[in-house]
Structure formats: structure tokens, C-alpha cells
Amino acid sequence: MNPSSEARPTSSDWTQLAGAIAGELHTGDLMRRIYSTDASAYQEMPSAVAIPKSDQDIATLIGFAKKHRIGLIPRTAGTSLAGQVVGGGIVVDVSRHFTRILEVNTDEGWVRVQPGVIRNELNAHLEPFGFWFAPETSTQNRAMIGGMVGNNSCGSNSIKFGSTRDHLLAVSGFLSDGSKVEFSEMTTSRFAEKCENQSTLEGRLYHHTRDRLSDSAVREEITREFPKSSIRRRNTGYALDLLMDADVFGQSQDTDSNKDSSLSADARANEASGTTAKPFNFCRLIAGSEGTLFFATEIKLRILPLRPPCSGLMCVHFRSVEEALSATLIAVQHDIDACELIDEVILNCTRRSIEHRQNRFFIEGDPAAILVTEVRGQTEDEVRVTTDRIADEMKAAGLGYHFPVLFGDQGNRVWDLRKAGLGLLGNIPGDEKTVPVIEDTAVDVRDLPAYIAEVNACLRKQFGLECVQYAHAGSGEIHLRPIINLKTAEGKLLFRQVASEVAAIVKKYRGSLSGEHGDGRLRGEFLRQMIGEQNYSLVREFKRVWDPDGIFNPGKIVDTPSMNTSLRYEPGQKTEESIETVFDFSANQGLLRAAEMCNGSGDCRKTHLTGGVMCPSYMATRNEKDATRARANTLRQILTTSQKLNPFDSEEIKEVMDLCLSCKGCQSECPSTVDMGKMKAEFLQHYYDANGVPRRAQMVANFVKIQSLLGMAPAVVNGFMSVPLIRRTVNRLLGFHPKRSIPKVARQTFRRWFERREQKFPGAGSNRRRVHIFADEFTDHVEPEIGIALVRLAETLGYEVSLPDHVESGRSSLSKGLLRDAKEIARKNVEMLMDVVTEDAPLIGIEPSAILSFRDEYPQLVGDDLKERAELLATRCLLFDEWLEQEMDSGRVTSDAFDHTPRTILVHGHCHQKTLSSLQPTMRVLELPSQTTASQIRSGCCGMAGAFGYEREHYGVSMQIGELVLLPAVREADTDTLIAAAGTSCRHQILDGTGRRALHPIEILADALVPIGDR
Ligand SMILES: Cc1cc2nc3c(=O)[nH]c(=O)nc-3n(C[C@H](O)[C@H](O)[C@H](O)COP(=O)(O)OP(=O)(O)OC[C@H]3O[C@@H](n4cnc5c(N)ncnc54)[C@H](O)[C@@H]3O)c2cc1C
Ligand code: SF4
Ligand code: SF4
């Protein structure tokens, strides 16, 4: 809806509104850009973004919207795939302040929450009570209850537990006139009372509903035209078919779908006592209404006792998708919790993902499809009774060739792989993308094989398209994703043609065009075709009665704009950057396309409670602006629209990048491998080109020069800096936070010690193998004792150790965006080391962020002439623990070299290591001494990230990140527990945040060595 010109808000109206709400109102370009997309193909600049703090704020926003005839778009995590939260009105983000779990009632089996509660966090809260909220989405670690209700979400387990609607007991919130109401189950007499009060909008809604849904002609038309009731997941239009199935209309129908679990215990009791068997509840309509009818502020959900604890996943491998679909019909005859398809396109995508590559462990051969069937029981044996039966039946039917059943962590990893599917598809470089357009159709499961065959034949014949196929086979829903280039006029047309052809096939099977993702602005256009002209008019009538001014999420479900308008990409839009990059982005076909890899899946909005590294700044602030997605969207939009010769000369990009810690979390955890750390560095270099390099950045990048100078009089420097007033003053002058401690300058660098030492440690060279140590700048100048410990460790274990000539790693320049300097450094290191380091004599690193530069940045930085050499060298550069693990596996290093002193170690992993390698080697090598137990702190980033945490303006966020998991875990650890952290920044953060000194794993292992003579 566009505001009419006389009602259009003026800037003073906006200012007044901002003053009238306790929360935030943003009318500037940056926030509007960030909120102009979701996980769909759409993009439209909203007029404003509001982040309300209270119910009163929402009431004020509704009043404003009515007055100015402007839309309000309720939004939680913004992971919708049909453009539900994209529009020109005011986006109202309730994900920041409406996040409370208000009440849990286990006796009656319900929970009351605000809309911004994340589904998985709700279940983490409920678990100790022995309960859970069943519906799930693949996005369950960030999708919020408000959005799940809005979209009537469901997931793999819908086969057993239905969708959110089936568990929605009551909602409170606002009607479009600003009145506050609650909808819940009610008796016939209560319903009649409600219908009488026509002086309120609420009363008129009841009255209108009774009027229309009691009409037998209307009911017949709905029954005839709506999707088959046997389809459990159906999100086509408003759920009038379900709403009308209540006793209040006097003629309810006994459809399969309505005999389901959606009746509460009360209703069932009523049913038994002959009162109201099918109570009326507007919640049935609200669920799936996509914020177009009602603004929810409190949601009451049914919760269920936890499921049997043992989950077994049978992952049957097939030679074709058709075979898998036939097998689905066997699986669904059994008591299963889920039955999910993964096709070979997805399986291939997982090869390219650093994170999901590790989850392919169960795959045998080259299957064209895998059907994952979940069975639950009290024990593995109980599960196997059912899985064996299913496998026998499939084998008897000649279906499938491999039938592994996985439990526990292995099962979780298969789920991770399956859930990553949609996001991973965004991982295809270039302009052709798998687009969400027909990804959500659902049919009766018995129709599925024929339906899929027909869709595939049609797409192949009509358009020469092949589809990716995966997901909820057991519920009759396969996510189909064709690959289309929306940057061309033909692609844009194809987008519509494909949708239209498939809509016709869905209608033929009386299926649902949306099974779970909703109509939004993508499928609304086909609603008339899907439910017939009369029903479409009825749906529009409901919208008009509920929202006469059209302020609630206009243009979704009904009266939607044309489905191929307002797309992220427009034909003819700029697709190449106008400026030469320092990094080689050719693997992504340029930096712009690298930013375009973000499809909005929102994985970067997960929180510390669900784990992982990405994205620490969002985890701390819970502000959409600080998520990777916001950065990618801003980059993409500015690079495609800027008229400047240097488009990176942008304050907007600078602002959105400000809290990026360059932790690299996104590189492995973003399913589309959006590598924001690299893009930030590239941006900074070009921004500096236009605006000059700030003094502080220069100073940080010149770490080695400064340390060398200070190292000329270490005692004096350390003495001065130990005086708090001096330290605080120096920090202030340098732009650092006064509370930060400053590491001591070493009396002697590591290299100097190495070159001057008179004798090696006993054992050196005894196994005739050699290692080169990379004397990174942090070890060299600040913590030489760790380098010395590594020499002692390696030599005592029998290795010949060398310290080859090289320069610093360039990490400081990289982190500050001085990329051309970093390039020179990288080139020097590659030239100096490429002939020295060999497969048998690798280069091993102490500081993860330094040695991993060889593997991550150097090959893309050194230039074409050195690229191949850099790539080869990268394969020979190892973290010290990766090297030691290799030596353990080869039998050259054993526990015999270490003592038997009992030790308990808590390990915090460096982000770069977790992203580019793994913490597994650290955990293994730390347990080389036989009496040592090491466990991992479930921390993400420590928050320090090089100089980030020192910087005055970033100190607060840095500590906030540290306080999420790491610092409390360290404080809670026993005093005799050792804290291990390989990163110099991480150790510093732990020291500043807890006062405890963390050790490098090298120090712990060197301490545990048994002198050669004593073994
Ligand atoms: C990779 C990927 C996988 C997905 N897999 C699934 C899946 O398995 N199953 C599934 O169902 N969906 C899936 N989705 C779609 C989406 O994640 C879900 O629909 C999710 O539940 C939306 O939650 P959200 O918090 O992101 O909601 P949003 O996108 O923010 O909002 C969703 C709708 O709810 C409305 N809304 C939000 N808050 C309120 C409120 N307070 N009052 C009224 N209306 C409100 C919004 O206006 C909007 O119409 C997937 C999406 C992606 C990107
Ligand atoms: S950055 Fe990655 S995780 Fe975040 S929304 Fe984009 S694609 Fe998804
Ligand atoms: S590098 Fe780290 S902080 Fe920056 S966007 Fe990626 S995950 Fe977020």
C-alpha cells in the first residue's frame, strides 16, 4: 500500500513518531536497506524501520499507520522465503525486545511467550521441565515464534506433529483499529455473545465470520476448491477451510485433518461430555495469516512431553529420486517422526562447504537420493525393530541399496546436513541461482511420485530446466528449486512462467501451492487459481473486514503485486565492480557476486545458546545491522547502485562493517560461504584510498616496527606501562580503551633466543625428521616463551627444528584493511618459504591467525604469478596441533613421551582455527599425556579479535561477546583446571575479563614432557 499523497508522513511526522515510542525508529537509508530483503528473491525499501519496546509502542505505530495509510510489516527473524516481510511500509522488528518466555504451565501443557522467542531457545528452556514445542523449521535456531505463527511453520516432524497452527492455543495482540484482543478456543455460547457486540471491531469479526461460514454455499465452495484435507501442511490463502470446521456453524465437517491433535485437553473433555466437540478458535485463521490480519504480542502454545530419547535415522541410499519417492510410501506406513529426501545436487553442494563436508561421513558410493527416516524409541534396539522392518519392506520392493541407521551425534550431523540444504543451494557462484519459486508445493503423499514426475517432465519439456529436489517427502512436500538467472529479462519472465505452470499442476492434484513457507508476495498472485474465484473473493473480504485501511502487511496473500516485480536483481543491473580488487575474488566471479551469495537464510542470526562462531557481533547486540546478512545486503546494494568511481567510498558500508570482527565464522558457518572478513578488508583498503588511513589503523598494522622499537628498552617500557595512570593515558592517546591491559614487551625476541642459543634440547634430530617453525610476530615480540616451549617440545620428541627466514604474517595489516601492504608481506613470505618448506618438513605455526593466513588469504592475495606456489605452500603450512596429530597418527609421537600427572583442561578454540581447520587436533594432542582430560568450552569468538577489543568504541561489544560464554565458563572453572587457548588475543581477553592466565596448548604439552633420560 502506498500512502496517499495527503496522508504521506512528513519528516516532522517521522520525528514525532520517533519521539512517541520508547523503542527505535529508523528512517535513514542504511537501516531501510538492511530491512529491504528477507530470504526471498524480493527487495523493496521500507519507509522506515521500527524496533518497538512495548505494547504501547505497537499501539502508537498502528495509530500512525492508520492516520497516514501506511503499511506495518511485523517481522521477527526475517527468514521468510516468499517476501512476507518485504514491503514499502514500516517494518516493525519485534525480535529485539519481545523475547521473553512469560509462563510455563506443565500441568496444563502450555507455554506463553512473546513473538521474538527463538524456537530452539524455547525448547532449551522447556527441556528441564520435560516438555517441548514440537513444530520445527530448518531455520529453528533463529526462526521465532511470531514468524512461525505468521507462516504456520512446520518441518521434518510435521508428519507426526503437524504445523504451528496445530499447537497454537491463544494469541493476544492488536487488531487493525489498535484495539487489544485475545483469541482462544471458545464454547458456542461464548461465540454467540462475541457475535452480538458489533460496536467493536472484534465483535464485527465474529459476526462476519459466523455470517459467511454458516452459509452452506460458501462452505461447499471452500470444500470443493481448497486443497485436499488429507494434506497436512497446507498454507494456501487464509485457512477458512479449517476455521469453518467448528460446531458454532452447526454443520462442521469431519475431515481427517480436523480430527487431529489440534484439540486441547479441554476440548477433548468437552467432546467426551457432549458439549463443544469442535470449539471455535480464531487462532486457526491467525496461524498462516502472515501478519496481514493481526499483530501478535503474546502467544500461547501447546507443549508436549519430551519424545522417547533415542532417535535413529535410517539413511537409505537410492539410484534415483523416483525410487526414493516410491520408498517413501513404504516408510509412511510406519510410526515414524520424519521422512526427508536429499537429492544429489544438495549432496554435491555439501562437498563445497567446509562445515558440511565433515557431515558426509555416512554416504556410500554416489547416491542420486537419500531418504532420511527418523524413528524414535526408548532404546536403540527398539528403534531398530522398526527400521529393520522398513528396510525389509523396501528391499522386498527392490528399492534402495544401502541402509545405514545412525544414532546420537552421528544422527545430529545428518540432520545438520539435511537442514543446511536450502542455504547451501545459495552456494552456487555466478548469476544463475536456485530460486525460491515453486519450492513449497505439497500434495497428498500418495500423489507425490506422479506429481513430481509431471512437474519434472513439464519443466524439462517447456523450459529445459532441471530442479533440485529435497525435503519433506513423507508429508507430500518436496522442495523444488529450479536454477534461474534473475538478472536477465528472460530469467524474470521464466520465474513467472515456471510458477504458473507448476500452479496448474498443483491444482490438478488439489495440492497446496504453499506447504509451509507461505504465500507472501510470491504465491498470492496464484491464489485465485488455487482456490477458485469465489473463494478468492471471500479471502479478500476477510482481509477487508479485519483490516479496512489495509495497514497490516499489505500486498501479501491477497492483492499482491505482480510476483516478478521488486526483485533483488533487475535486468541490466550492474554486475561487475568498477574497481580492481586486491584480493582475487575470481572463484566467486568478483566481489559483488561474492556478496550476492547471501540469500538471506539468516543463519548469521543464531545465538550463543545454539552455538557456533558466526556472527559474534549479532550474538552480542541482537541487532540485525550487526549480522553478516546486513553487511552482505548493504555491500550488494551499494555496489550495484553507486554512481561513484570508487563505490567503496561509502559511509554506509563503513557503518555496517564497523562491528565485523573478521573472525571468519561466516566463511564456514554461512551455508553460502559468504566470506565477510575478506570483503571487509577489501572494502577498507578502497575506503582508505578515498579517505586516508586512520592513525590507529596505521599503528596497529605497524605492530612489528613498533614492537621492535619498544624492544630496544623493554624494561623501561614495561615499567612505565605498569603504572595504571600512564597505561590509561597512553591507551586514550592511541584510541584504545583505558581498561585494556597492554602486553609486556619481551626482553628478547623468540628469533633472537633461537639464533643465540648454544645448545639444542636433548633428543633433537633423533628421529631424523625436520620441522620449520613460523615465528609469527606475536610470539616473536610478545610471548617468546611459547615459541621456546615449541622448540623444546619438538626437539624433545626427536625433531630437527629450524626457524627459516621470513617476515611477519601480515595479520595486523589484513585485519586493518591495509591490503596492499599485506600483499607485499604475503609475496615476500611465499618467495622466502616456497623452496624451504617441503611436504616432509612442514611449516608449523603457533598463533592460528598468523599461520592460517598462508592457507586462507595468501593464495588470493599474492597475484597470478605466485598463486600456484602459494597454493602449494598452503598445503604445507600446519597449525602446531595439526602437525602433532599427524605425527601421532604415524606413530612417531606417543604418550610415552609425557608424564602421568592428572590434569583437567578447558579449551577455548580460536575462531580462525574453528573455521579453517578444526579443534579436533587440539583436543587429541592435549590428551597425549595419559592422565589429562580436555574438554571444549562451547564458546564462539572471544570478542578480542586482534585490535578490535582494544579499540575504545569496540571495547563494550568486545566484552559483551566474551561474556556470552567464554568468560563465565572460565570464571566457573576450578582453580586447578588449566585454561588453554591457542590465540594470543583470546588469552588476552581471558586475562582482562577474568584475571586468569590462559596457556597455549604448546605450553601445557611442553610442561608434561618427560625428560629423555627418565622415560
Ligand atoms: C534456509 C531456509 C529454510 C527454511 N525451512 C523452513 C522449514 O523447514 N519450514 C518452514 O515452515 N519454513 C521454513 N523456512 C521459512 C522460514 O524460516 C519460516 O517460515 C520461519 O518460521 C519464519 O520465522 P521468522 O522468525 O524468520 O519470521 P519472519 O520472516 O520475520 O516473519 C514471518 C511472517 O510472520 C509475520 N509475523 C512475525 N511476527 C509477527 C507478529 N508479532 N504478529 C503478526 N505477524 C507476525 C511476518 O509479518 C511474516 O509474515 C525456511 C527458510 C529458509 C531461509
Ligand atoms: S550471510 Fe550467509 S548465513 Fe547470513 S543470511 Fe546471508 S547466506 Fe545466510
Ligand atoms: S567475519 Fe565474523 S564478525 Fe564478520 S561478518 Fe563474518 S561472522 Fe560476523
392-439 pLDDT tens trace: 999 999 999 999 999 999 999 998 888 766 666 666 778 888 888 898
Name the pLDDT band for 704 (thresholds 50, 70, 90): confident
Task: Indicate if the pLDDT at residue 635 is higher than 70.
Answer: yes
| Residue 351: per-residue pLDDT | 79
Q: Which whole number is the average pLDDT over 838-850? A: 97
Task: Indicate if the pLDDT at residue 258 is higher than 50.
Answer: no
Q: Which whole number is the average pLDDT over 533-555? A: 98
Task: Indicate if the pLDDT at residue 387 is higher than 90.
Answer: yes
Q: How far apart are CA 1013 and CA 156, in angstroms?
A: 60
Q: How far apart are CA 514 and CA 935, in angstroms?
A: 45
| Residue 255: per-residue pLDDT | 44
| Residue 552: per-residue pLDDT | 98
Atom nearest to 520 CA in ligand 1: 49
Task: Indicate if the pLDDT at residue 259 is higher than 60.
Answer: no
Which cell goes with 733? 592517546
- Lowest-pLDDT choice from 92-96, 398-402, 648-652, 740-744: 740-744
> What is the residue with the minimal CA distance to atom 4 of ligand 3?
660
> What is the residue with the minimal CA distance to atom 2 of ligand 2?
670
> What is the residue with the minimal CA distance to atom 22 of ligand 1?
147
Pocket probe for ligand 2: among 36, 422, 596, 603, the residue whose CB has the most ligand atoms within 8 Å is: 603
| Residue 2: per-residue pLDDT | 53
Pocket probe for ligand 3: among 623, 634, 663, 678, the residue whose CB has the most ligand atoms within 8 Å is: 663
Strand partners, 555: none
- For 330, 388, 846, 911, the CA distances from 334, given in Å and listed in that order, are 8, 11, 54, 44
| Residue 262: per-residue pLDDT | 41
Pocket probe for ligand 3: among 613, 672, 676, 852, the residue whose CB has the most ligand atoms within 8 Å is: 676
Q: Which whole number is the average pLDDT over 83-107? A: 98
The residues near 953 (Cβ < 8 Å, ≥ 6 apart) are: none
Q: Which whole number is the average pLDDT over 748-753? A: 97
pLDDT over 70 percentage in the chain: 96
| Residue 483: per-residue pLDDT | 87
- Please write the tens of the pLDDT for every residue from 559-600: 999 999 999 988 888 877 778 999 999 999 999 999 999 999
Model confidence, pTM: 0.93
Task: Indicate if the pLDDT at residue 868 is higher than 60.
Answer: yes
Query: For residue 161, which of 304, 314, 372, 310 has the smallest C-alpha distance?
Result: 304
Query: For residue 64, which of 19, 116, 115 has the smallest C-alpha distance?
Result: 19
Indicate the Cα dihedral angle 461, 466, 472, 473, nearest 10°: 50
Q: How far apart are CA 427 and CA 350, in angstroms?
A: 10
Strand partners, 797: none
Query: For residue 463, which of 437, 431, 427 has the smallest C-alpha distance?
Result: 437
Q: Which helix H or strand E contains 57, and what residues bound it?
A: helix 55-68
Residue 402 gets which letter from DSSP? Answer: B
Q: Quick check: helix, strand or coil at residue 799?
A: strand
**CA 492 / ligand 1 centre spacing (Å):** 25
**CA 665 / ligand 3 centre spacing (Å):** 6
Task: Indicate if the pLDDT at residue 272 is higher than 90.
Answer: no
Atom nearest to 422 CA in ligand 1: 1
| Residue 189: per-residue pLDDT | 93
Q: What is the Cα 363 distance to its own chain's centre?
A: 25
| Residue 268: per-residue pLDDT | 42
Pocket probe for ligand 3: among 615, 667, 672, 852, the residue whose CB has the most ligand atoms within 8 Å is: 615
Atom nearest to 597 CA in ligand 2: 7
Atom nearest to 39 CA in ligand 2: 5
| Residue 577: per-residue pLDDT | 76
Query: For residue 518, which of 768, 989, 151 has the smallest C-alpha distance?
Result: 151
Q: Taking a C-beta distance cutoff of 8 angstroms, is the pair 987, 963 a contact?
A: no
CB atoms under 10 Å from CB of 396, counted, come to: 9
Q: How far apart are CA 223 and CA 246, in angstroms?
A: 14
Q: How far apart are CA 534 and CA 531, in angstroms?
A: 8
- Lowest-pLDDT choice from 59-73, 283-297, 1001-1015: 1001-1015
- Please write the tens of the pLDDT for every residue from 590-634: 999 999 999 999 999 999 988 889 999 999 999 999 999 999 999
Per-residue H/E/C for 970-1005: HHHCCCCCEEEECCHHHHHHHHHHHCCCCECHHHHH
Q: Taking a C-beta distance cutoff of 8 angstroms, is the pair 200, 537 a contact?
A: no
Name the pLDDT band for 264 (thresholds 50, 70, 90): very low
